[in-house]
Structure 1
Amino acid sequence: MRQVNLRSVDLNLLVVLEKLLETRHVSVAATQLHMSQPAVSRALQRLRDALQDPLLVRIAGDYELTERAMEIQRLLPSALATIKDVIAKPEFDPTTAEETIRFSGPELELNLYGPPLLRRMKREAPAMKLEMKSDIRNQFEPLENGKAHFVLSGQTPTTATSQLHRFSLGRFSYVCLMSRNHPLAGKPVSLEDYLSQDHISVMITGAGHSIIDEKLAVLGHKRNVAVKIGSFFAAMHFCGQSDMLFLVPSIFDTQIYTGHNTVPSPVPDFLKDHHQEFFLYWHERYHHDPMIKWTRNLMKETTKQYRAGE
């Protein structure tokens, strides 16, 4: 097969070619294309040169298609339709969509934001599905390799940041979680109280709540972390079944606290300015995808109550 340099082909000529093959007449094609007859004649000559075939030949006073032209006429409609699909702006209708939206992130973020998103999505896009994978080893790798559309995370990426977009899902202060039977339950926790208790720490990045330990170190103190655990909700369960303290973002509702036999108390003064902000991240490759834009808007709606000024 002869190699074709597409850069030398004017795709506008294909529209003219389709009409010429249909009408088999330069003047009629020009009229239907709203072009001048000389312009269509020049286009025909360019097509003959590019395709190395006369395409239209005069026989007994009329123009007939060559064998090559008849083959092109058979293939051209689907080729033009494909080109239109490539160029046309993609559409997305959530009411009929059946796609799967893939999320990745730590267990906490997926559990906090997944259920309300699912409830809203099932109302507006009943046939769509959610896929949520918790992987804390490299939270943003699924965005880089295309295995996830979104990452939900309170962490900040360190690589490929120029290719990532994000918006805030809310910024939260902390509360001190403890068993409902704990002597400090429901009471403000002083620094002295805090230091006298054993603590649970979640190892999201392998180091637990290092910022808290750094704050204590500045004050010349150190807490006793009796349990380090890799699951946030397992840590809440441990807390409810022991006399240890556990710091959590204030986004949780009463139902979650009650389910783990825990209650929240105000944190010591040195932690009053300690906050956790969560973000929705996505990669540039999906930034203009209509399904992804729809999902982002849905996330904004479901988290609107947590974002100041909205």
Structure 2
Amino acid sequence: MRNRTLADLDRVVALGGGHGLGRVMSALSALGSRLTGIVATTDNGGSTGRIRRAEGGIAWGDLRNCLNQLITEPSIASAMFEYRFAGNGELAGHNLGNLMLKALENLNVRPLEAINVLRNLLKVDAFLIPMSEQPADLVAVDHEGLLIYGETEIDQMRQPPQELMLSPAVDATREAIEVIGEADLILIGPGSFYTSLMPLLLIAELAQALRRTPATMVFIGNLGKELSPAAARLTLADKLAILEKYIGKKVIDAVVVSPQVDTRNVTDRLIIQQSLEAADIKYRHDRQRLHNALEHVLQSIS
């Protein structure tokens, strides 16, 4: 079919974590329940890390961030969900949304169902699925063969890791595999390369689902420089090579990047290179510009 638009698609799936995935989902929120995010759950920093050290469980912070960015009707519920404690006490720095999600998990509610309870409360139509409902940490092997545990430590690495893995190895959330199989369009990124994008590809079933899908797959590049010194050294071609090494097949059909990105050595893929920055925060994607760039991808390769 020629000239497909986003509005024609039955299922769009976005993979990632944190601010980047939330931004993509808010740019596509008009798709409503046809939009699903699969979210990394290995964060061990900030409020999320403190909760995990005290109580265990998956990392809720990136899921909460995505929910925050999908709220379109401000309410007491949304103000409560976004509330962050101030001051110097034990609750200082904690986000109430993280604590609400953790409380539901402690009540033996499936993590996916916990998210759905809050989606309904916040009137969010798009779906969010944790990559796994079992807790795991990201582990890297550094250039000397030493193991580096946890996202916050991995983000400080100066040399690219030789290998990444999850500890322990965990299963993908069943629904994540299902939606990848149903997808018309799959988006990866933007986000911290090693700690927001790569964790999803370390789950064998997710990598296999991405190998098998006939969906159009698009990589969305970051606008700002990566905070991780190791990730900041990677070119676009490097990132695509690493992603596809872990997926096990050449699957990425198109890239959406800013004009500043070096696209040398990126071959046999559609390259959409245009200004994508938001007017207020230059390293965040403008929602309408990103939406338009994805429309351009669909019209060019459908």
Same-fold call, TM cutoff 0.5? no
Question: Which has more radius of gyration?
Answer: 1
More strand by share: 1
